[in-house]
Amino acid sequence: QWIYLNGEYVTKEDAKVSVYDHGFLYGDGIFEGIRIYGGNIFKCKEHLDRLYDSAKSIMLDIPLTQDEMQEALVETISRNEMRDGYIRLIVSRGPGNLGLDPKRCPAAWVIIIVEQLAIYSEEAYKNGLVSVSVSQRRNIPDALNPKIKSLNYLNNILVKIQANLAGVGEAIMLNSQGYVAEGSSDNIFIIKKGVVYTPPCYVGALEGITRAAIMELCAKLGYTLKEEPFTLHDVYVADEVFFTGTAAEVIAVREVDGRKIGSGQAGPITTRLLQEFRSIVT
């Protein structure tokens, strides 16, 4: 396995960062999770646009242009002979001193890891996940804006810990006003009477690329889609619920906080959207 580390390709054993790297010390950095389907990087431009927006927002100077970054992705994939897999692209502020001042970090570090990935079983895709809501709140935009895909994932990790404690695969976090925001690492959709709903990102969600692809598919398939805030009550009484994400793809939810969702398995619209999604990625 070859890992891209600042322009060099190193083995997994040699892929190391400094203990003074501010990505390690402070989570000062950004990242993208990107899928490879049949040798193609799915939505590469969208992912790189989001990465460079995140970089600009935290004033992190990426030492590659977007085109150079795309070439680095393509080169890393071909060196690993990867046809179907998952790319983790990380840009950290780089090594500095122990203080948190980014001015003390002369150069950002760019890391590209490619791996096989299957976070949910085929059975989970068919039957849907059991999920819960958690007390951990999504930081709302005026805190650390959830639109910035930063290495600051403790908010999400604390959600994952509560999911683990509840023995479920994914959990739903709300924002501080009690509106549903998203999962620990995916966006959320609900369906009620044939209408598809997803929270607007200002509620506290990453502007998911899979979310956007599903919204486009809804339009193409003629489903009415509404981007509006909703609450756990709306989730409980929904006919269908599903999560979307690069790693998760489209995965149904069959129960939330002990309430069975619709028929208690992947609903018809969710199943149709997953089929359509799988057909556009290959």
Q: Say whether 160 is catalytic.
A: no
* Binding string, residues 125-164; x marks residues near ligand PDD by CB under 6 A: -------------------------------x--------
Site for ligand PDD in 256-275 (CB under 6 A): none
From the list 12, 147, 149, 160, the catalytic residue is: 149
Among 21, 170, 182, 276, binds ligand PDD (CB under 6 A): 182
> Least distance in Å: CB of 192 to ligand PDD?
22
> Least distance in Å: CB of 273 to ligand PDD?
13
* Binding string, residues 199-238; x marks residues near ligand PDD by CB under 6 A: -------x-xxxx---------------------------
Q: Which is nearer to ligand PDD, 80 or 156 (CB)?
A: 156
Q: Which residue of this chain has its Cβ atom nearest to ligand PDD in the complex?
A: 33
> Least distance in Å: CB of 185 to ligand PDD?
4
Backbone angles phi, psi at 89, to 5 degrees: -110, 120
> Least distance in Å: CB of 33 to ligand PDD?
2
> Least distance in Å: CB of 195 to ligand PDD?
21
Torsion of CA 191, 194, 198, 199, to 10 degrees: -90
Segment interacting with ligand PDD (CB under 6 A) among 5-13, 59-67, 223-231, 241-249: 241-249
Largest CA distance in the chain: 56
Segment interacting with ligand PDD (CB under 6 A) among 76-84, 181-189, 191-199, 220-228: 181-189
Pair 91, 110: CB distance under 8 Å: yes
Segment interacting with ligand PDD (CB under 6 A) among 101-109, 160-168, 219-227, 242-250: 242-250
Q: Does 175 bind ligand PDD (CB under 6 A)?
A: no
> Least distance in Å: CB of 85 to ligand PDD?
12
Among 80, 185, 198, 270, binds ligand PDD (CB under 6 A): 185
Q: 3-class secondary structure for the chain?
A: CEEEECCEEEECCCCCCCCCEHHHHHCCEEEEEEEEECCEECCHHHHHHHHHHHHHHCCCCCCCCHHHHHHHHHHHHHHCCCCCEEEEEEEECCECCCCCCHHHCCCCEEEEEEECCCCCCHHHHHHCEEEEEEEEECCCCCCCCCCCCECCCHHHHHHHHHHHHCCCCEEEEECCCCCEEEECCCEEEEEECCEEEECCHHHCCCCCHHHHHHHHHHHHHCCEEEECCCCHHHHHCCCEEEEEECCCEEEEEEEECCEECCCCCCCHHHHHHHHHHHHHHC
Burial class (CB in 10 A: 0-12, 13-18, 19+), 14: exposed
Positions that interact with ligand PDD (CB under 6 A): 33, 156, 182, 185-187, 206, 208-211, 244-248
**Catalytic sites, residue numbers:** 149
